[in-house]
Amino acid sequence: MPHPEFRWRAEINAIEFRPRGHQGGCVVHKFAIRTIVGFNPGAQDCLAFSRSHSDGLVRAALAKIADGHIPVDKSFNLNSREIRAAISPPPRKSDAGKTCG
């Protein structure tokens, strides 16, 4: 998946990137990132988070565009639940029904 360019927007305390095929920006507020990382991140922390979770952020943005019917030229934000769902590993298949022996 191509990695977007992330930039810090100091006036709104958020990172912003443009998902492929979308003219508006996707914004992730530092407090959404704080909820995930468990500390109050600064601008560089938020940028580092966005770079290390780039694929998940893009997945979350594209899912929100598809599900939310967001017009192609409108900006939107991701919340911590949307981000967490996109960056979390898929659930493991249950071992239920296996027998020992």
Domain ranges of the chain: 7-86
- What crossing angle do the helices spanning 80-87 and 54-68 adopt, rounded to 10°? 120
pLDDT above 60 for 96: no
d(CA 45, CA 23): 26
Local confidence band at 58 (pLDDT 50, 70, 90 cut-offs): very high
CATH of domain 7-86: 3.30.160.140
pLDDT in tens, 10-20: 999 999 999 98
pLDDT in tens, 10-53: 999 999 999 988 899 999 999 999 999 999 999 999 999 999 99
